[in-house]
Amino acid sequence: MHVTAIIAAGGRGERFGAGEPKQLVAVGGRAILERSVTAFLTHPAVDAVIVALPRALAEDPPPYLRAAGAPGAKPLRIVAGGERRRDSVASAFRAADPSSDVIVVHDAARPFASGDLIARTIAAAADAGAALAALPARDTVKRAGPDPASHEGRRVIETLPRDTIYLAQTPQAFRREVLAEALRLEGDATDEASLAERAGHHVRIVDGEAPNIKITTRGDLAIAEAIAGTIARPARTGRAGTGYDLHRLVEGRRLVLGGVSIPSDRGASGHSDADVVCHAVTDAILGAAALGDIGLHFPDTDPRWKDASSVDLLRRAVARLADERLAVGNVDVTVILERPKIKEYVDAMRSTIADALGIDVARVSIKGKTNEGMDAIGRGEAVAAHAVALIRSL
């Protein structure tokens, strides 16, 4: 299933009252927009991301959006938004890959959507056609109208059954054909789910999250800073694992490291694509979970793994962790290679590994070292990688 995420960030944030677009304001040391984009860019269920920005910002995007398009990284496109939210979403929709099965739309002003919420919304849309995250109302809900006894006052018209009231959030996700039909409707709407409703589609509700707040006014910043502070605290990582891999370098093979093809006259020999970075990380996370090693799960005697992408094998290992209610906290990798130098490819490698692990790229470290001309690695005959991983309970 191919999933494209649209980040709706085309508004000017006039109610926010800042001297810059609201989405560029920092919360917990990171821009609101950066947090929202990263949540989808690093999510394993999302294949591509499209960000709709105000035209001036689209022509000169912030550095973290430009860096996201590095070679080997997940596809990220920037489009100019429109006057209305639906115009921005429609502009991004037109730029989406026609092969997209599900389109997930998220408001950039909600920087704290969790990976679990994103995954559940996508899965619900794939099954039902349309889905949105929403929270049940906790307070008694009153419908109000004008008070005839007062020019400016309001009076209660009726009390609504609280158990039927839900407060809509994003992400909202749709099968591609459902969103296409919804966007063809005339008129404006506050969200895409209401357009889908108007088009006659049933929209499934997915349990939302209280921290998934929308930052609308400057008064919301204090709450957002508190949430960011909670998220920034180190995750409980009760288990650690190490991984190591080494492959001989031979002519006629691609050199693949961290899912990135690196120009070289020789590549690593192996049953799969022989990516020592992915292999070491896979061993590290499996070891931390006491689930064996890469050879146990993906033996080189099995033809299914012949020339397989090691990034795909890493994703499978992460899924195996999820079955055990475990997730990766962070990884640190050291690549030992005499030549070529990998410095200019490290960012793309980090992005690819983070995407496979389903974590923020800030939690992935990759470093390059040489063996100073010593042994087989030093003579340029082999490449190796060491990895350390911390995992946590879900």
Q: Return phi, psi of residue 218, to 5°.
A: -65, -25
- Please give the structure tokens belonging to residue 331: 């990884």
Residue holding tokens 């879900």? 394
State whether 172 and 283 are in the same domain.
no
DSSP-based three-state secondary structure for 271: coil
Q: What gap in Å lies between CA 286 and CA 305, rounded to an integer?
A: 18
Residue 343 sits in a domain whose CATH number is 3.30.1330.50
Neighbour order of strands in the sheet with 266-268: 266-268, 239-251, 382-393, 326-336, 364-369
**Strand blocks (E) in the chain:** 3-8, 26-27, 30-31, 48-53, 76-80, 102-107, 130-136, 141-146, 154-160, 166-175, 204-207, 239-251, 255-257, 260-262, 266-268, 326-336, 364-369, 382-393
In the chain, the number of structural domains is: 2
State whether 153 and 270 are in the same domain.
no
The residue out of 187, 207, 232 marking a domain boundary is 232
DSSP-based three-state secondary structure for 142: strand
State whether 370 and 221 are in the same domain.
no
Q: 134 - beta bridge partners? A: 168, 207
Q: What is the Cα 386 distance to its own chain's centre?
A: 26
Contacts 24+ apart (CB under 8 A), 62-70: 62/24, 62/31, 62/33, 62/34, 64/31, 64/34, 64/37, 64/38, 65/33, 65/37, 67/347, 68/37, 68/41, 68/351, 70/347, 70/348, 70/351
Q: pTM surpassing 0.75?
A: no
State whether 264 and 190 are in the same domain.
no
Q: What gap in Å lies between CA 270 and CA 6, rounded to an integer?
A: 38
> Checking DSSP bridges between strand 102-107 and strand 3-8, what pairing results, if any?
parallel
State whether 70 and 208 are in the same domain.
yes
> Rounded to whole angstroms, what are the CA distances from 216 to 62, 78, 118, 207?
21, 23, 21, 22
Say if residue 171 is preceded by a cis peptide, omega within 30 of 0: yes
Q: State which residues of the chain have pLDDT below 70.
A: 12-19, 67-73, 232-238, 394
State whether 338 and 389 are in the same domain.
yes
> Checking DSSP bridges between strand 141-146 and strand 154-160, what pairing results, if any?
antiparallel
State whether 100 and 83 are in the same domain.
yes
Domain of residue 125, residue span: 3-232
The residue out of 217, 232, 247 marking a domain boundary is 232
Q: What is the Cα 50 distance to its own chain's centre?
A: 12
State whether 221 and 361 are in the same domain.
no
State whether 227 and 247 are in the same domain.
no
Q: What gap in Å lies between CA 320 and CA 163, rounded to an integer?
A: 37
State whether 103 and 214 are in the same domain.
yes
Query: Phi-psi category of 372—alpha, beta or left, where left has phi over 0 and alpha has psi -120 to 50?
Result: left
> What is the predicted pLDDT for the residue at 392?
85
State whether 181 and 113 are in the same domain.
yes
pLDDT tens-digit readout, 331-368: 999 999 999 999 999 999 999 999 999 998 999 999 99
> What is the predicted pLDDT for the residue at 15?
60
pLDDT tens-digit readout, 34-76: 999 999 988 989 999 999 999 989 998 888 887 554 445 678 9
Q: What is 85-126 written as a DSSP string?
A: HHHHHHHHHHHS-TT-SEEEEEETT-TT--HHHHHHHHHHHH
CB-based burial, 30-60: b 16+ in 10 Å, e otherwise: bbbbbbbbbbbbbbbbbbbbbbbbbeebbee
> What is the predicted pLDDT for the residue at 269?
93
Query: Phi-psi category of 230—alpha, beta or left, where left has phi over 0 and alpha has psi -120 to 50?
Result: alpha
**H/E element holding 276?**
helix 276-288
State whether 228 and 251 are in the same domain.
no
The residue out of 232, 250, 271 marking a domain boundary is 232
Residue 147 sits in a domain whose CATH number is 3.90.550.10
DSSP label of 241: E
